[in-house]
Structure 1
Amino acid sequence: MDRQSIDASLARFTAYVEGLSSVIGHADRAGPLRDYCQGLIMPSERKSVEPIAAMTAPERTAAQHQSLLHFVGQSPWSDRRVLAKVGEMVLPAIERPGPIEAWIIDDTGFPKKGEHSVGVARQYCGQLGKQDNCQVAVSLSLANHHASLPVGWRLYLPQEWATDDERRRKTGVPEDIDFETKPEIALKLIEAACEAGLPRGVVLMDAGYGCNTYLRAGISALELTYVAGILPNTTMWMPGTGPLPPKKWSSHGRRPKLLRRDEKHKPVSAEELALRLPKRAWRSIEWREGTADPLCSRFARVRVRVAHRDYTLTESRPEEWLLIEWPGGEKKPTKYWLSTLPKDISFRKLVDITKLRWRIERDYQELKQELGLGHFEGRGWRGFHHHATLCIAAYGFLVSERETIPPSGPRSTPLFKKPAVPGSRRPRGSAAENRTPCPKLNRDDAPKIDRRGRNHSVSMPMLRNADRATNAAKKVMTQ
């Protein structure tokens, strides 16, 4: 980019931050807001408060550190209002090539040491692919084939935290926050998005959420459609069948109302149904371009009725799509989805929308690797959510700027120059070889996210080009 383009980007950044400043309350928060967002965009090994202070105010780092620490950890501005403002400013840029197509629900984990950071517990961490000590947050992103943007974010508070008054008090967990499962949190994020009037899309979720009947029913009650991953053992009725009607009334006692099943008439698992399908039911479908070749697999789809506890119902559940993926070379199908998309939707379109869930992996990858989403070192509820909100705000600006860079242009733009930091300074979390060990201190540091390929001469990544990001995202895709 030439100097004129850089100046134009700087002007847009200033206008963007001014827009955010309009919803954070006191005018004295505008400076820390700009500095924090700028620090998140600048190149740095860590994006926690102290390194950001050193980058944005090298001549008065101690004062800047205290200012940012208060702004992120204590200042009572509203995460919800800031995220709403980010959506208001960024969604038009995302929608320019086409409307929003999907609302993507997922969660992401942050490995942590110690036990004092809010919500930390031994639980499944997707980043590590196993059970470990971590925090987990649930998010909602709006997406189309051009880009995506998180619009909702909530920490999952495990049961042992929700019922521990002392730990809640020390970390500032709000009184109105009780224990809720991840699907319950997800439904609240979806309800909030509906109330805010955000452009609607198909709700996409993996099996961790899609297997929850309560969540699927809640989405349908909001008049939204979904594509929900399910497990192979999910039970359903074969195409064209359903539960038996209530027993005939014998004229004595209450009239039977509940649906029935018996040994000869019962549902099957999704896997059993898939294995019974004839060869003609399977079709090879491409859904998008990969880094080298188009992404393609074999799919089948049939209309089914979900059988989960339908013997407690008086009416059979409506039909919906069962989509099955069986890649070539695999011994059996690998993925299953239920969908309430229209009956007349084309096969290719159904697969295309289902696979759009990869966008959430792109969000997490960029937020963690480029913007330091997992680098927050505080322990409190407010600081955790404020830091994530500011990371999303910085991400939103970069998403809106991506379209200003020509496809053949450079992918690294010196929008903000990294200042020289005194050589004697060693910010916490840096890779200083001679740092004095303090084994008794439990600072609950988040581990550093994958730094491969990071060019420290870069001053603003602009989220890099689509091909490069797509290639990196393939490594962490779950769809």
Structure 2
Amino acid sequence: METESDVEVGLWDAELESLLQRVGGRFGRVEPRRRMRDYVRGLLGPVGRKNSWQIAEYAGHGTPHGLQRLLSWCQWDPDRIRDDLQDYVAERLGQPGGVLIVDDTGFLKKGTVSAGVQRQYSGTAGRTENCQIGVFAAYASARGRALVDRELYLPKSWTEDPDRCRAARIPEEKSFATKPELARVMVQRALDSALPVTWVTADAAYGQEWHFRRMLEEAGVGYVLAVPKSQQVKSPAGSWRIDHVLTGAPPDAGERISCGDGAKGPRVYDWAAAKLPTVDGSDPAHCRWVLARRSLARPDEVAYYLAFAPADTVVTELVRVAGARWAIEECFQAAKNECGLDQYEVRRYVGWYRHITLAMLAHAFLAAMTAHALERGAGETVRPASFPSPWQKSGGSWTLPVPPRPGMGHPRTGSTGPIGADAIRPSPATATTSAARTPIG
């Protein structure tokens, strides 16, 4: 008699087999197709370090040479697997309101011959290290999150050295591209795919790039992008630093909202938002906003965002999108810990893409099965709570004035910090209605 556990294992086996058959058509020969299957199963299996040697041993191969050939020499295109992966994620995790998240992560390396390696800052390590940098895109919805695209960053020390590129089998047509330029390529691919992308979010390294924001606006895609406090905000009357825009906000111009659950519970911050005046030629159906997020534990710690969204967007939706950025960090952690994303021992350019893509495929499978288990066991997903706020405007939007240029006599009453120490501190005692119904402007 089958137990519930047996049924669950059967479901997992059937889903994995279906996924492997789906991508198996990208291999023209039986041998590399079988090795791909063994490699993915090894990435998902109880293997100490998920490189060719240990995966080969787990799969029962006599030597690692076959798996090494899979990553280095066999004829197959990892970009086709990426396309299949995006279709799979769209089917298993796709929902209206889905968010595409862009970020990069570092892969620490020894030596100087791995494609793209050099001493450079790694956010993963929090310091300058000898490493490779990968720029990634993840998709997140209420059903789950998974990595869906990747590009290897090639510093100028590589792209300006043809001999070095030849040795690492980097295609001759590859030229230098900044990380935001790589991000734009991946975002466009996602928009052209089956993924239901409604929003894009990223940290300040990408949010401060004008071409990145412009591309999204021209595509009609909403965004909530972190920017540095020195970011210039433009209007018909001029431009100002973003940390000055909300300086004159009234004391109650804020909301205390959770932007999602973290390891220690809801991530609750004080938020303020202001609609920017319309610039000639702007889409009247969409508006631009500035947002400020203040830490409750460290009130001097304020983060800033630029947003572009439909005019009737509510503050909690913008906050939800801003909070979705943590999803890609969770993807990195899970893909590295569970699927060996960072445990490769390949040096050539194509080897990096092949290992990373198969590790992403394994991670997407885990994400899909987690979503399936949650839906079977928990029913409806509970949305993050929104904390009541005292500032509500019935029948209208809250719009904060853009500060004038220095010397024009803008009042700074009550301002003791970048957005005023009290600018986004709500008074819970006076809150009576749900912030989720408040349109922001």
Same fold (TM > 0.5) = yes
Q: Taking structure 1 as reference, are residues 330 and 406 closer, same or farther at Cα in structure 2, changes over 3 Å only?
A: closer
TM-score where L is the length of structure 1: 0.73
Provide the rounded CA distance (Å) in 2 between the counterparts of 1:323 and 1:11: 45
Q: Taking structure 1 as reference, are residues 339 and 408 closer, same or farther at Cα in structure 2, changes over 3 Å only?
A: closer
Letter in 2 for 1:111: L
Q: Which runs of 5+ in 2 are unaligned?
A: 378-441
> 1:292, CA displacement in angstroms?
4.9
Encode CA deviations 1:305-337: one digit per residue, 9 max, x unaligned.
699xxxxxx979995100100123534352111
TM-score where L is the length of structure 2: 0.79
**Would the aligned equivalents of 2:139 and 2:148 in 1 still touch at CA under 8 Å?**
yes
Encode CA deviations 1:119-165: one digit per residue, 9 max, x unaligned.
00111111101111110011112211221122211100001101111
Aligned with 1:84: secondary structure? helix
**Would the aligned equivalents of 2:87 and 2:193 in 1 still touch at CA under 8 Å?**
no
Residue number in structure 2 paired with 1:298: 270
Provide the rounded CA distance (Å) in 2 between the counterparts of 1:126 and 1:55: 33
**Would the aligned equivalents of 1:18 and 1:30 in 2 still touch at CA under 8 Å?**
no
Letter in 1 for 2:185: K
> 1:25, CA displacement in angstroms?
2.6
> 1:23, CA displacement in angstroms?
1.9
Q: Taking structure 1 as reference, are residues 365 and 28 closer, same or farther at Cα in structure 2, changes over 3 Å only?
A: same
How does 1:32-51 map onto structure 2 within 5 Å? 32-51=35-54
Provide the rounded CA distance (Å) in 2 between the counterparts of 1:168 and 1:385: 15
Q: 1:53 aligns with which of 48, 51, 56?
A: 56
Q: Taking structure 1 as reference, are residues 89 and 406 closer, same or farther at Cα in structure 2, changes over 3 Å only?
A: closer
**Would the aligned equivalents of 2:290 and 2:307 in 1 still touch at CA under 8 Å?**
yes
Asked whether 1:159 is paired with 2:176, we answer no
Asked whether 1:345 is paired with 2:308, we answer no
> 1:40, CA displacement in angstroms?
0.3
Residue number in structure 1 paired with 2:128: 131
Letter in 2 for 1:282: G
Q: Taking structure 1 as reference, are residues 331 and 368 closer, same or farther at Cα in structure 2, changes over 3 Å only?
A: same
Residue number in structure 2 paired with 1:476: none
Asked whether 1:72 is paired with 2:71, we answer yes
> 1:272, CA displacement in angstroms?
2.2
Provide the rounded CA distance (Å) in 1 between the counterparts of 2:240 and 2:283: 15
Letter in 1 for 2:62: T
Asked whether 1:196 is paired with 2:199, we answer no
Matched positions, count: 372
Encode CA deviations 1:358-380: one digit per residue, 9 max, x unaligned.
11011101111111111111110
Asked whether 1:378 is paired with 2:372, we answer no
The worse-fitting range, judged by mean Cα deviation, of 209-218 and 196-205 is: 196-205
Provide the rounded CA distance (Å) in 2 between the counterparts of 1:68 and 1:16: 19
The worse-fitting range, judged by mean Cα deviation, of 184-193 and 381-390 is: 184-193
Letter in 2 for 1:19: R
**Would the aligned equivalents of 2:223 and 2:307 in 1 still touch at CA under 8 Å?**
yes
Greater strand proportion: 2
Letter in 2 for 1:161: W
Encode CA deviations 1:57-86: one digit per residue, 9 max, x unaligned.
1xx421xx1110001122231111111112
Encode CA deviations 1:363-403: one digit per residue, 9 max, x unaligned.
10111111111111111001000000000111111112124
Q: Quote the sequence identity (%).
A: 27
> 1:269, CA displacement in angstroms?
1.4
Provide the rounded CA distance (Å) in 1 between the counterparts of 2:233 and 2:89: 41
Q: Taking structure 1 as reference, are residues 403 and 152 closer, same or farther at Cα in structure 2, changes over 3 Å only?
A: closer
Provide the rounded CA distance (Å) in 1 between the counterparts of 2:166 and 2:264: 52
**Would the aligned equivalents of 1:235 and 1:306 in 2 still touch at CA under 8 Å?**
no
> 1:12, CA displacement in angstroms?
2.4
Provide the rounded CA distance (Å) in 2 between the counterparts of 1:115 and 1:385: 18
How does 1:175-324 map onto structure 2 within 5 Å? 175-237=172-234, 242-243=236-237, 267-304=239-276, 320-324=288-292
**Would the aligned equivalents of 2:246 and 2:274 in 1 still touch at CA under 8 Å?**
no
**Would the aligned equivalents of 2:288 and 2:308 in 1 still touch at CA under 8 Å?**
yes
> 1:286, CA displacement in angstroms?
2.3
Encode CA deviations 1:385-439: one digit per residue, 9 max, x unaligned.
0000000111111112124446999xxxxxxxxxxxxxxxxxxxxxxxxxxxxxx
The worse-fitting range, judged by mean Cα deviation, of 319-328 and 226-235 is: 319-328
Q: Taking structure 1 as reference, are residues 232 and 135 closer, same or farther at Cα in structure 2, changes over 3 Å only?
A: same
Residue number in structure 1 paired with 2:432: none
Aligned with 2:252: secondary structure? helix
Q: Which runs of 5+ in 1 are unaligned?
A: 244-265, 308-313, 410-479
**Would the aligned equivalents of 1:271 and 1:333 in 2 still touch at CA under 8 Å?**
no
Q: Taking structure 1 as reference, are residues 317 and 201 closer, same or farther at Cα in structure 2, changes over 3 Å only?
A: closer
Provide the rounded CA distance (Å) in 2 between the counterparts of 1:191 and 1:320: 21
Letter in 1 for 2:76: W
**Would the aligned equivalents of 1:136 and 1:155 in 2 still touch at CA under 8 Å?**
yes
> 1:11, CA displacement in angstroms?
2.6
Q: Taking structure 1 as reference, are residues 125 and 71 closer, same or farther at Cα in structure 2, changes over 3 Å only?
A: same
> 1:24, CA displacement in angstroms?
2.6
Q: Taking structure 1 as reference, are residues 193 and 406 closer, same or farther at Cα in structure 2, changes over 3 Å only?
A: closer
Provide the rounded CA distance (Å) in 1 between the counterparts of 2:33 and 2:327: 31
